[in-house]
Structure 1
């Protein structure tokens, strides 16, 4: 009996080896494929908690090294990930913000209560000039989200004129009096935020009319011919909202429709940011991967009214949302950032890349100290999160031409439910580099993949990987480099076939080299 049992075990092991799954991925060039807009890799800075004050902005008298009050270590970090655009001042805060309170001598600016986020009083020391000068320093396009909910059309039009009119107008004169001679020429404008909720609890039909009014009066000068107007879009699968905007707003008044979606397992019990179980992790990834369904659904609606693809989809808020860290203000939305966040970031960015024919902009929420942040600060200390490192790895895709991929993903199965374990996107840069980003969200299993690059003329590749020992791992102020980007060499390229094993919960990016 013992011999039979041993033989059975041996045969079972052999069978397991023989039938071990290998995922076949095909990457091909397509002359009709779109460019992956760098603006998909946009960011978001709201007046919320410690995002602006005690995050970006410490003031020009701070002992922390700064430039015009903005931390130089944050500036350096954001330059390294080639931040393409930055959305400000909100979020829900945008529809309470009176921009004229944030210009002129700081000591003369009125204070305000941030009624949405923590009830704190702000002194308006960080305003339009601070933000736009920061964007210039970063080499990033500013994306201003304007006040529709509690503002007026004139307020909005004045703001456009203040930032963009060259000379001879009242707002250009005011700008010069406040120390800025040349206009900033702000291109990206959000017309309100979440108008179905904190922006005014409007119906889609009502907002469509309001939108048209604001969009009409934005043209303050000849500099505004190239304004990029973004309508406050739907949340999740509210396809009716998108349908109304596409049907009711003339193409001459709109450049993009927004969309928001957060990976939240339950709005009443979001779960912890670090000490979570695999069950919570699985549910988080299930919510994150719904982004593909929602983006595809809204694109389908848009194509009914815009088959020429003239209006873009802008996912201007996305990311993971959990319970705040213990002992912090619940209204400040401060949470840690683990390998789960790296999985959400990598998989979501792959989704956007693969829908880049219509998705031209996205903004992760948020940049510093709020929600799925790239950067966390504590006094003079600063740490870069796993999400930051994913954005750095994915810079190879900025403005590169999409390379369509085809494959059937293996499954990540937990408690009888399954999700696609592997996410992939690929691109080719203007310099000719072929770039492939892969994410394995499986918390337990490695997955073997073979990528068919036939006809791509790829002879050498170099790789990077982001991984750690536990899915809950994260960087701390005592251990800021626990998770960092490492070289990845465990792959084989032969006869146009690229093979490798993706470790559990890992992000890998490979780029060809001459």
Structure 2
């Protein structure tokens, strides 16, 4: 297989750094143990936040963080999570595995976490059980000057300068269609308009993410009806992005053939990866809806995949929705990111779900112990793609087991190639050629393991991870089976 890489970037296709983002909420051990240990903990921390997780997020260059949900956003009231009194404010949480909600980790702690990692914060407003006035108060708390009621309260709580949060989710994305009965698209559209009305004077300074709907809900007309009502048949500005939730795997509809997290068959391995075409369907659907129901005279509406990932059958309420990850999960993550890169003209955000200890996490923790998952190492490998421009590729053949993306920096001095070989057993020969320039390999790495069903544990924390990959001068490569390769080149 020979790829000719054309070093003329597609200017509309810049890989947003926010495609390498994360989402987390109050389920299970995601926040308490996974992120927050408290300032007095013997576990190394900065202001109560785990140091190993902070450093890991920096290592992979997390672009944005979304919080407090998810489903938790539908009943989160931000005032319970500020001030010293928050430690004594416990209330019921609609999570059978963790029924009492602690408020140790609130708005200031989340925004401190973002500051420590360099990630953009995305705050999700409670449009289900909250009010527009509560949302405006929250905005004032994080962004208002100190001569306002809640800006002064923020200063009293230790942060005098405004946080300047730009990105706001209006509702818990498509999960609302079952969680709080948003089956009526017009009812959500009216709710969206009520919440955004309070921000008309500052609308151009903010970025609002409204509800989209993944194809798994089988309600293809929902998004169009909602968006058309918001834009009043293209006469008004729509949301800056539409959110999509979509989980795939053995625990989700249509995923029975995928099998278990670990003991899957060869057919189950391919069944999961084949499901990824559904992400492309979601993107194609939203492209059409955005084109039909928004006007080009307003800023373009983008797509926000704010929850994506694999959901294996072993992730249940009883085990706090925790699951193991093998090399198959790494391949899944790499192919998913490739889909988002190829659609980066319209896909602006993508949040891996969730950050710690739940579903396709980046970190697993247990007290002071912590290890990084196969998905973490893929995001580490792909960090160089962020901020670069997609390049055209001209293959001389078709091989359905190979998936390749190339990007180039804005100054044209850095080029990154990532290659996924999803074949279980075959090494794939690949030749890289460049249309214009001679390039030198700066470094190359591969994520794989000695067996596709290998997974990391606290006892063997690095069985699946990145390793140096050898690239010959003639660019004739041998890509190992079930592997992800990334090559960084310079002129």
Match of 2:331, SS? Answer: helix
Maintained 8 Å contact 1:332/1:370:
yes
* Aligned counterpart, 1:428: 408
> How far did 1:490 drift?
4.1
Q: 2:349 aligns with which of 321, 346, 361?
A: 361
Maintained 8 Å contact 2:93/2:99:
yes
Q: 1:48 aligns with which of 3, 15, 27?
A: 27
Match of 1:350, SS? Answer: helix
* Aligned counterpart, 1:152: 131
Maintained 8 Å contact 1:51/1:367:
yes
Q: Which moved more, 1:424-433 or 1:303-312?
A: 303-312
Match of 1:197, SS? Answer: helix
Maintained 8 Å contact 1:265/1:287:
no
* Aligned counterpart, 1:255: 240
Q: 1:214 aligns with which of 175, 195, 200?
A: 195
> How far did 1:307 drift?
7.0
* Aligned counterpart, 1:312: 302
In 1, distance between residues paired with 2:155 and 2:290? 42
Structure 2 matches for 1:14-163, cutoff 5 A? 22=1, 24=3, 26-30=5-9, 32-106=11-85, 109-116=88-95, 118-163=97-142
Q: Which moved more, 1:166-175 or 1:225-234?
A: 166-175
Q: Which moved more, 1:115-124 or 1:91-100?
A: 115-124
> How far did 1:323 drift?
2.2
> How far did 1:235 drift?
1.9
TM-score between the two structures when normalised by the length of structure 1: 0.87
In 2, distance between residues paired with 1:476 and 1:400? 34
In 1, distance between residues paired with 2:92 and 2:337? 35
Q: Which blocks of at least 5 consecutive residues in structure 1 are unaligned?
A: 1-21, 412-419
> How far did 1:512 drift?
0.8
Q: 1:444 aligns with which of 411, 425, 438?
A: 425
Match of 2:276, SS? Answer: helix
Q: Which blocks of at least 5 consecutive residues in structure 2 are unaligned?
A: none
Cα-to-partner distance string for 1:137-187 (whole Å, 9 max, x where unaligned):
111111111111111111112111111111322221222232321111111
Q: Which moved more, 1:171-180 or 1:465-474?
A: 171-180
Cα-to-partner distance string for 1:193-218 (whole Å, 9 max, x where unaligned):
12212243332222112111112224
TM-aligned CA distance change 1:57 to 1:409, over 3 Å: farther
In 2, distance between residues paired with 1:274 and 1:88? 30
Structure 2 matches for 1:384-463, cutoff 5 A? 384-407=372-395, 410=398, 420-431=400-411, 432-460=413-441, 462-463=443-444
In 1, distance between residues paired with 2:134 and 2:57? 31
In 2, distance between residues paired with 1:491 and 1:25? 17
Larger Rg: 1
* Aligned counterpart, 1:13: none
Match of 2:431, SS? Answer: strand
In 2, distance between residues paired with 1:408 and 1:90? 45
Structure 2 matches for 1:476-495, cutoff 5 A? 476-493=457-474
Q: Which moved more, 1:30-39 or 1:380-389?
A: 30-39
Cα-to-partner distance string for 1:214-268 (whole Å, 9 max, x where unaligned):
122245x75x641110002212354423322432223535211111111224537
Whether 1:505 and 2:486 are equivalent positions in the alignment is no
TM-aligned CA distance change 1:176 to 1:32, over 3 Å: closer
Match of 2:270, SS? Answer: helix
Match of 1:55, SS? Answer: coil
TM-score between the two structures when normalised by the length of structure 2: 0.91
In 2, distance between residues paired with 1:501 and 1:108? 55
Maintained 8 Å contact 1:236/1:260:
no
Match of 1:313, SS? Answer: strand
Match of 2:465, SS? Answer: coil
Question: How many residues are paired up?
Answer: 477
Q: Which moved more, 1:26-35 or 1:155-164?
A: 26-35
In 2, distance between residues paired with 1:502 and 1:307? 45
TM-aligned CA distance change 1:462 to 1:173, over 3 Å: closer
> How far did 1:348 drift?
0.6
Match of 1:196, SS? Answer: helix
TM-aligned CA distance change 1:109 to 1:375, over 3 Å: same
In 2, distance between residues paired with 1:109 and 1:405? 58
Whether 1:373 and 2:358 are equivalent positions in the alignment is no
Q: CA RMSD in A?
A: 2.2
> How far did 1:346 drift?
0.4
Whether 1:337 and 2:337 are equivalent positions in the alignment is no
Q: Which moved more, 1:254-263 or 1:110-119?
A: 110-119
Match of 2:227, SS? Answer: helix
In 2, distance between residues paired with 1:98 and 1:117? 20
> How far did 1:489 drift?
1.1
